[in-house]
Amino acid sequence: MPKVGIIYNDSKPTACRAATEIKDKLTGQGFKVCTAPGTGGILGYSMGPNPLHRIPIDQLAPPDFDREMMFAIVLGGDGTVLSASRQLAPHGIPLLAVNTGHMGFLTETYLNQLPAVLEQVIDGNYIVENRTMIAVEVCQSEEVLWEALCLNEMVLHREPMTCMCHFEIKIGRHAPVDIAADGVIISTPTGSTAYSLSAGGAVVTPGVEVLQLLPICPHSLASRALIYGEKEPVIIYPASPNQLVMVVDGNGGCYVLPEYQVKVRRSLYHAKFIRLQAPEFFQVLREKLGWGLPHIAKPTSVELP
C-alpha cells in the first residue's frame, strides 16, 4: 500500500479541515495516510541559562514518516514548511508545500488548486528540487549540547539587542576574524531572501553552492556580508562576557554562554521540494517581493507656458 504524509499547521482551522479532507480522499484511493502537526519540528526556546536538552537531528520525524513514504503534503505558511523540512529531510521525503498562510515564499501551490495538483503528483509528473540545509551545533569543548537542522538561517545575537558584542569567527582553514556587531547571521541560498535580505545581505539563487555570513548592524564599515563556499565549516566563538541567544529558522533556539562554541556546516541532508514544473526563481522574486518589476509610473507631461 503506497504511503503519503500530511503535516499541517494545527493552529489554523483552514489547514486542519484541509488535512482531514485530503486524508479521507487519499485513503479512499487506497493510500495509507499519516498525519502530524507542524509543531513537531519547532524546537522551542530555552527558559533558563542553559541550552535545551539535545534532540538529535534525525529523531524529529513524526511516527511512521520514513523512507517508504512517497511524499508529504505540507499545509500552512513558510513557518510550517520550515518546520516540516526539518522533520522530513533526514528521511529524504519530498514535500508538496500548499500555502494556507500569508507570504508562502516556499510553497508551490494553493489550496484551491490542490485537487488537480494532487493528481499530477500521484501520476509522478513533477520535479524534485534539492535545497541546501545547514547543521548547527552548540558545543562545550567537544561535547554537543544542542543541535538543529536549518533551511533558512542561524542567527546569534545579544539579548536584548541593544549592545555591541564581539565574535571571533573561523571559516574553514582560514585565519579567524573578529567582528563587532549586534549579531551575526549565517544563511543558506534559501535563507538569503529571509532575515538576511532584511539585514542587507545579497540574494543568492538556489542551487549556488555557497553560504552567507552577515553581521547585523556592524560597528565597522569593513564588516560586511561575506559569501563563501558551502563546504567550509564555520566555528563562532563568543568573545563577549555576556550570554547570547541563538535562533534557528525563526522557530527554535537556545542560549549560548561565553564558554560555548557554535559550529555551522553544510548538512548531508537536503530539503526536497516537489515542483510542478522547472523552478523559476526570478518569477517567485517578482511575485512575492516585487523584484525586477518594470517602473510603469511615468510623470504626466505638462506643457510649459
**β 109-110/95-99 pair status:** parallel
Phi, psi of 289 (to 5 degrees): -120, -5
Tell whether 85 is in a known binding site. Answer: no
Phi, psi of 44 (to 5 degrees): 80, 180
- The cell for 303 is 506643457
Tell whether 141 is in a known binding site. Answer: no
Tell whether 250 is in a known binding site. Answer: no
Tell whether 48 is in a known binding site. Answer: no
Tell whether 58 is in a known binding site. Answer: no
| H, E, C per residue of the chain | CCEEEEEECCCCHHHHHHHHHHHHHHHHCCCEEEEEEHHHHCCECCCCCCCCCCCCHHHCCCCCCCCCEEEEEEEECHHHHHHHHHHHHHHCCCEEEEECCCCCCCCCEEHHHHHHHHHHHHCCCCEEEEEEEEEEEEEECCEEEEEEEECCEEEEEECCCCCCEEEEEEECCCCCEEEEECEEEEECCHHHHCHHHHCCCCCCCCCCCEEEEEEECCCCCCCCCEEEECCCCEEEEECCCCCEEEEECCCEEEEECCCCEEEEEEEEEEEEEEECCCCCHHHHHHHHHCCCCCCCCCCCCCCCC
Tell whether 196 is in a known binding site. Answer: yes
Tell whether 107 is in a known binding site. Answer: no
User: Which residue of the set 10, 58, 66, 78 is catalytic?
Assistant: 78
Tell whether 195 is in a known binding site. Answer: yes
Tell whether 197 is in a known binding site. Answer: yes
Q: Measure the CA–CA gap between 224 and 30, rounded to whole angstroms.
A: 55
- The cell for 90 is 533526514
Annotation marks residue 78 as catalytic: yes
Tell whether 259 is in a known binding site. Answer: no
- The cell for 43 is 524546537
Tell whether 143 is in a known binding site. Answer: no
Tell whether 152 is in a known binding site. Answer: yes
Q: Which residue has the cell 485537487?
A: 115
Q: Give the catalytic positions in this structure.
A: 78
Residues annotated within a binding site = 78-79, 152-153, 182, 193-198, 251
Residues annotated within a binding site for NAD(+) = 78-79, 152-153, 182, 193-198, 251
